[in-house]
Amino acid sequence: MNTNFKESKRILAEIKKAKNILLNCHKGPDPDSIGSALALYMVLKNMGKNVEIICPNPIFDYIKFLKNADKIKTVNFSDFDFTPYDLFITQDSGSWQIVSADENFPLPNIPIIAIDHHITNEKFGKINLIRSEISSNAELLYLILTDWGVEIDKDIALALLTGIISDTGVFRYPGITSQTFKIASKLTELGADNNLIVSKIYFDMEFNALQFYGEILHLMEFDEEHKFIWSAIPYEKFKEYGSPYDAKSMVAGAFAQSVHGANFGIIIVEDSKNKISVSLRSKKGYDISGLAVKLGGGGHESAAGASIENLEFEKAVERVLEEARKHAEKSKK
């Protein structure tokens, strides 16, 4: 057994003891969360385990090229029966609230293993394997699988490479190392099609989503004093453009780090009435994770997110901007 992480052996021991294992995709699932869940799902099924994947939100259509994507169940955690399961492995989730999408829902009474790469992780598991220096959860999972001596087939490789490509912004974001490229190269050798991944995630957009991008850009403002850009879309506009689920994070990744003179960008979308989702992106060397935590979310130095519920749109937006300005002032010192 390799030894990338001392926790790998303990996690494998817990898996061997378990029969029925639960996996998650976090709220507002992104390709790293989905790819990591599907890769581990296939590994555990190959071990002969009964496995389920649950998510508090539906996954988006463009990720359904991954094998077993149809196995991900959209559930309300407060209605879900956890009793048949004897182990819950969460991935890419910095807090229990990000797993459950419900800050009032308690941890279930089963052992939890948390595998994650967010610096803001709250370590809510029985075992916590957290490595914030690693660029994606999928890269972290690959290293765990090599510790276990798992044979990675073409479908597992595709799921892992999808997570890596997405969470690095096609190898643009900070935190990428030579190890990241070596792992990506190995996964392509194992059969993962990087061109398919890039095509599906970045170049297979619904027309209404492209129009929604335009609306976000049209409404974008530049707070020159505090050196950030922002755009906020109310629920009515979100619905008008067909509720393009993952549009805000895609726009954030494409534009929020691009404006000359701005240190960071904020994309706000009211994706249901009185509930906003916030995507934050910053330029290299500017840490945005603390702002995400202030807003009840979490993430990385250069890519983070949050959500605010039970607040009218204008008031929620003002709260985000107020915290952003405080964060910017604090960062000057």
Structural domains of the chain in order of their starting residue, each with its CATH number? 7-201 (3.90.1640.10), 207-332 (3.10.310.30)
More confident residue, 275 or 252: 275
Q: How far apart are CA 167 and CA 165, in angstroms?
A: 6
Residue 46 in tokens: 């190959």
Q: How confident is the model at residue 89 (pLDDT cuts 50, 70, 90)?
A: very high
Express each pLDDT in 262-285 by its tens digit. Answer: 999 999 999 999 999 999 999 888
Q: Which of 12-26, 242-256, 284-298 reaches the highest mean pLDDT?
A: 12-26
- HSE value, Cβ hemisphere, 13 Å, CA-based, for 153: 9
At residue 284, the pLDDT reads 82
| Averaged pLDDT of the chain | 94
7: part of which helix (H) or strand (E)? Answer: helix 7-17
Mean pLDDT of 161-184: 93
Mean pLDDT of 43-69: 96
pTM of the predicted protein model: 0.89
Mean pLDDT of 59-81: 95
Checking DSSP bridges between strand 20-24 and strand 50-55, what pairing results, if any? parallel
At residue 164, the pLDDT reads 98
Q: List b or e across 162-191, with b for residues whose CB sees 16 or more CB atoms inside 10 angstroms.
A: bbbbbbbbeeebbbbeeebeebbebbeebe
Q: How confident is the model at residue 1 (pLDDT cuts 50, 70, 90)?
A: low
Express each pLDDT in 196-211 by its tens digit. Answer: 999 999 888 889 888 9
Packing angle of the helix pair 31-46, 137-148 (nearest 10 deg) = 20
Mean pLDDT of 294-304: 88
The whole-angstrom distance between residue 295's C-alpha and the CA centroid of its chain comes to 17
